[in-house]
């Protein structure tokens, strides 16, 4: 098991290298020098040259990458070009926000989708199934930022049930923190739930046609018992994989939601860094997102082999 996991992580190593090399290479894609891009057309050539030299922007790519890698391995991701703060500090501030929102959105999606899929799969073609199927097709085509706008309008601007925007750290006030994350989390979850319901419903229906389900029914078990104890687990690998993909997406790409609700998350940091041409910060964010993908990927593998013993032989 641990060997399989190590093997998997080793397979993902090239992905990490590729992604970080590509971000390092961004410098070469910029018109003019990064120093000029950052300081603007009015800066003196001396100032531009000094900035380029300070951050090593004019070194050749291999040297730049190795130097970045060497520092990164010791936990030093450089410092922001615009405000000189260490990149690790900047990310450290933003990561908990993004992680909290991503995790809660994922948990909410699974918590809603699994019972819903079980319920409709118990009677395919029944009223519940048709209603849920209509609802999922409708919500599938709505982007989460549109949902966010409507929710914000109805529940924050109009009725003040939730704050319109902003952030309170969990340590300061758990209740306020949850009130602030509620709308972003709902908006994000609403985009995932229809996909989760569809995939799990389909897999459940496939599993429910199998002989071992008939065996369970002839053993005199109720429909809920058969669904929960016999059908759910063999039906869940695709859902787990999909949830993993969603987790990666949520960690790396909640940019729109974060800016809509003015949340100080990773997406927000990335947006600022891109506007400010803050290369060390961009590179740090990309690294963290890539690492999250790798971690989620390994977790998905672990979960799926825990679900299905037949995949455990390796």
By CB under 8 A, name the binding residues for other proteins.
210-212, 214-222, 225, 229-230, 233-234, 307-310
In whole angstroms, the minimum distance from the beta carbon of 215 to other proteins comes to 5
Nearer Cβ to other proteins (7/312): 312
Tell me if residue 141 falls in helix, strand or coil.
coil
Nearer Cβ to other proteins (97/307): 307
In whole angstroms, the minimum distance from the beta carbon of 127 to other proteins comes to 15
CA distance 245 to 304: 14
| Residue tagged 């519940």 (tokens) | 128
CA distance 282 to 267: 11
Nearer Cβ to other proteins (234/276): 234
In whole angstroms, the minimum distance from the beta carbon of 208 to other proteins comes to 10
Nearer Cβ to other proteins (41/220): 220
Nearer Cβ to other proteins (7/219): 219
Residues in contact with 92: Cβ distance below 8 Å, sequence separation at least 6, in sequence order: none
Nearer Cβ to other proteins (56/124): 124
Nearer Cβ to other proteins (58/308): 308
Q: CA 111 from chain center: how many Å?
A: 17
In whole angstroms, the minimum distance from the beta carbon of 283 to other proteins comes to 43
CA distance 58 to 34: 9
DSSP string, 22-86: HHHHHHHHSSS-HHHHHH-TTS-HHHHHHHHHHTTTTS-HHHHHHHHHHHHHTT---B-TTT--B
In whole angstroms, the minimum distance from the beta carbon of 249 to other proteins comes to 28
In whole angstroms, the minimum distance from the beta carbon of 203 to other proteins comes to 13
In whole angstroms, the minimum distance from the beta carbon of 206 to other proteins comes to 13
DSSP string, 222-249: -HHHIIIIIIHHHH-HHHHHHHHHHHHH
Closest to 285 measured CA to CA, from 127, 35, 110, 87: 87
């Amino acid at each position: 098991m641990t060997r399989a996991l190590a093997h998997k992580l080793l397979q993902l190593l090239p992905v990490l290298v590729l992604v970080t090399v590509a971000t390092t290479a961004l410098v070469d894609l910029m018109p003019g020098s990064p120093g000029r891009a950052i300081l603007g057309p009015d800066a003196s050539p001396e100032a531009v040259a000094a900035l380029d030299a300070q951050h090593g922007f004019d070194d050749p790519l291999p040297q730049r990458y190795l130097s970045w890698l060497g520092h990164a391995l010791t936990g030093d991701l450089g410092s922001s070009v615009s405000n000189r703060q260490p990149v690790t500090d900047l990310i450290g501030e933003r990561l908990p926000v993004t992680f909290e929102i991503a995790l809660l959105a994922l948990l909410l999606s699974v918590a809603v989708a699994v019972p819903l899929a079980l319920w409709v799969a118990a009677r395919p073609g029944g009223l519940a199934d048709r209603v849920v199927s209509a609802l999922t097709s409708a919500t599938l085509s709505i982007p989460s930022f549109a949902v966010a706008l409507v929710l914000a309008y109805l529940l924050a601007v109009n009725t003040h049930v939730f704050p319109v925007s902003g952030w309170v750290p969990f340590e300061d006030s758990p209740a306020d923190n949850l009130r602030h994350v509620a709308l972003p989390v709902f908006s994000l979850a609403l985009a995932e739930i229809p996909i989760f319901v569809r995939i799990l419903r389909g897999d459940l229906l496939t599993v429910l046609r199998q002989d071992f389900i008939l065996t369970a029914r002839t053993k005199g078990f109720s429909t809920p018992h058969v669904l929960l104890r016999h059908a759910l687990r063999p039906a869940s690998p695709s859902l787990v994989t999909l949830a993993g993909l969603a987790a990666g997406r949520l960690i790396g790409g909640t940019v729109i939601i974060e800016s809509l609700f003015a949340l100080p998350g990773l997406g927000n940091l990335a947006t600022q860094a891109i506007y400010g041409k803050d290369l060390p910060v961009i590179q740090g964010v990309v690294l963290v997102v890539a690492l999250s993908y790798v971690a989620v990927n390994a977790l998905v593998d672990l979960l799926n082999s825990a679900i299905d013993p037949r995949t455990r032989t390796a």
